[in-house]
Amino acid sequence: MSSVTSLSLPYLNRELSWLDFNARVLEEALDERVPLLERLKFLAIFSTNLDEFYMVRVAGLRRKVASGAPQYAPDPLAPAEQLVAIRTRVRELLARRRRVLKRELLPGLARHDIHLVKMETLDDAERARVHEFFEAQVFPVLTPLAVDPGHPFPYISNLSLSLAVDIRDPVTGKAHFARVKVPRSLPRWVSFGRGHCYVPLEDVIGAHLGALFPGMEVQRWFTFRITRYSDLDLGQMDQPEDLLETIEQQVFQRRFGEVVRLEVQHDMPERIRALLLEELSESETQLVAPLGPDDVHDEDDLLEMGDLLQLALTDLPELRDPPHTPQVPPAFRDGRNLFDVIRERDVLVHHPFESFTASVETFLEAAANDPQVLAIKLTLYRTSGDMAIVRALTEAAEAGKQVAVIIELQARFDETNNITFARTMESVGIHVAYGLPGLKTHAKTVLVVRRDADGIRRYVHIGTGNYNSRTARLYTDMGLFTCHPEIGADLSDLFNSLTGVSRQKHYRRLAVAPVSLRARLLELIERETAHAIAGKGGRIIAKMNALVDPEIIAALYRASQAGVKIDLIVRGICCLVPGLAGMSEHIRVVSIIGRFLEHSRLAFFANAGNPEYYIGSADWMPRNFDRRVEVMTPIEDQLLHKGLEAVLATCLSDNRQAWELGADGQYRRREPRGEAARATHQIFMKEPWGTEAARPPKRKKKGEAD
């Protein structure tokens, strides 16, 4: 077995791997087996995903290039090379998006009388109705901004849609340029009384520009849109005295981040493009790198396709996925006291196939109302302002219980929500803390301390997903309810370290980042490697959102070389290269994309016949191991292992939603090929823990034909 180090291993670039993931999302918009409005939804999700990619990842690469940052092993590409590769790949994806929208989705919608139309196609009565809407609701909101010596180029907000207006003064003959922002406070798709037919708001504004520039001749107008750097820079700051105030300041300053992308209507004249590029590049925010022609994306008439999600919600059930009602977990169905149930045995729940409301929210409500409960502590990462959780915590605090919440103010793009949430909780007497300096608190944990008849007992929930009722209906996640004494003691130690001053290094059962999580996973992988070398076999199955960490990848390569059979279910970024002879030939990687967002993190280690299962909050990435507080818990109750085995088997046997990563770095969609279709989400909606019949496909022998 050759030695594999984290500096020399085969490694796929993480940014290109993420673009491959987003390409798989776009493929759902191309898939005719998916209901039409759901296809439109996936196209919108692809678009908003790409926006965030540019706001954070591309913006970060541009800064690395400007600062002369070197290539980081084992990534094969330097920052400048990554930007070139990204531009090439994104152009391909945008061309594919245009084709699917124009050739498939819009014609398909038209066949069901859903239309996006131009103003000039309306009849007189329809035009009058739109004009009335413009006068009453649009015109008062608009602010035309001219650009000339007396009017500097205006500030343009991130991701805002704008009109670039070409104007001529009929008296002097002089040409003028003006910008009109399309307000996000108004509906993007304007109804005019003809069923599900809409005029884009920018088209409504464009048809009424004469009202904004009276006495001028409006020659032409074109849409454009910019993307700004939108990450927070707390890592570059000294330890702030008031983290809440600092985050608020950073969120405000983010509005003025440098421009990293310009999207323009495809037929915009070169003169106006050049003007936009020049003005945006000369902005005082462009201190890092000016925009160039490579940073301009040509689009068709329709920009800001994330807004198509609004159309995807059209109330036409025949064009959407059938509704799904989560099941009440069997352990919680008989109305018994939840603490009695958990005291008898551990309970696992699988969302959204099992109800978040009937499990997590009910657990918190029971804790708030139970007079024997003394304290409630929990971590919050993305909240969405869940009223059930706020209500339960508020009631608990008002009842005199000790309530402590660790809220992560740096949850990307949810900072404002979390700041509001923090202030609301503080106002009702809840103890709010913001975690440890330099670390994001990403763990998903609840600790309830209760006085039982036989003494004080800790009841615990540890999950893979956020305490967020909205995403709990859309993301696949797992959660463990337990009163295991050592797990409860570990969580007490963790909360004490998060709210107090501590250098806690030892945990009894839990693996906690950044203290011990990477080391624990390496230990588990190396144990399977040792079993394989000793002839005891070796087996690893792990499910996560992203696999990036070079040290973990090197350990998986070594395990494969020793003969360990490894299956990885990785939804998004995967930097490991499977199927390489002599290196990773025993590793298989699949990605599942479908109705729900795969989000659960689950790992299985065969351990020579003494299997171990773990769930947790962390993906296998450096940021999760080194810069976040994460929790991974063993599933101690062996009666729960059968369900976890079925979940993994169901995912691995998928031949409908699964994509398999090849040794060439390309993903290929699995197809039934004459056998029954096995779609993971369809199976879980019927049976939340999969089916016993689901088994991973038999591995082909080397050289065996498909």
Query: Closest by alpha carbon to 570, among 589, 550, 594?
Result: 589
Residues 648, 652, 656: CA angle, nearest 5 degrees? 125
SS3 sequence of 598-615: ECCCEEEECHHHCCEEEE
Query: Closest by alpha carbon to 25, among 530, 611, 649, 596?
Result: 596
Contact 613, 635 (CB under 8 A): yes
Contact 447, 378 (CB under 8 A): yes
CA distance linking residue 662 with residue 670, whole number of Å: 12
The region, left, alpha or beta by phi > 0 then psi within -120 to 50, assigned to residue 653 is alpha
Token pair listed for 534: 């000793």
Query: Closest by alpha carbon to 200, among 275, 265, 115, 260?
Result: 115
Contacts of 279 (CB under 8 A, 6+ apart): 147, 153
CA distance linking residue 571 with residue 49, whole number of Å: 14
Contact 260, 232 (CB under 8 A): no
Which pairs from 106-115 meet CB under 8 Å and 24+ separation? 108/36, 108/39, 109/36, 109/40, 109/311, 112/36, 112/196, 112/316, 112/319, 113/195, 113/196, 113/197, 114/196, 114/197, 114/311, 114/314, 114/316, 115/194, 115/196, 115/197, 115/198
CA distance linking residue 624 with residue 142, whole number of Å: 44
Contact 280, 259 (CB under 8 A): yes
What is the helix (H) or strand (E) element at residue 64, kind and residue range? helix 59-67
SS3 sequence of 642-686: HHHHHHHHHHHCCCCCEEEECCCCCEEECCCCCCCCCCHHHHHHH
Active-site position among 176, 208, 297, 442 = 442
Q: How many CB atoms lie within 10 A of CB 78?
A: 16
Q: Is the Cα dihedral 255, 256, 259, 264 positive or negative?
A: positive
Torsion of CA 309, 315, 318, 324, to 10 degrees: 80
Residue 442 is among the residues annotated as catalytic for this protein: yes
At 114, phi and psi to the nearest 5? Answer: -115, 115
Which residues on neighbouring strands pair with residue 407, listed in sequence order?
Answer: 380
Distance set, CA 11 to CA 15, 90, 91, 578 (Å): 12, 21, 24, 10
CA distance linking residue 261 with residue 296, whole number of Å: 6
CA distance linking residue 447 with residue 491, whole number of Å: 7
At 589, phi and psi to the nearest 5? Answer: -125, 125
Q: Which residues are catalytic?
A: 442
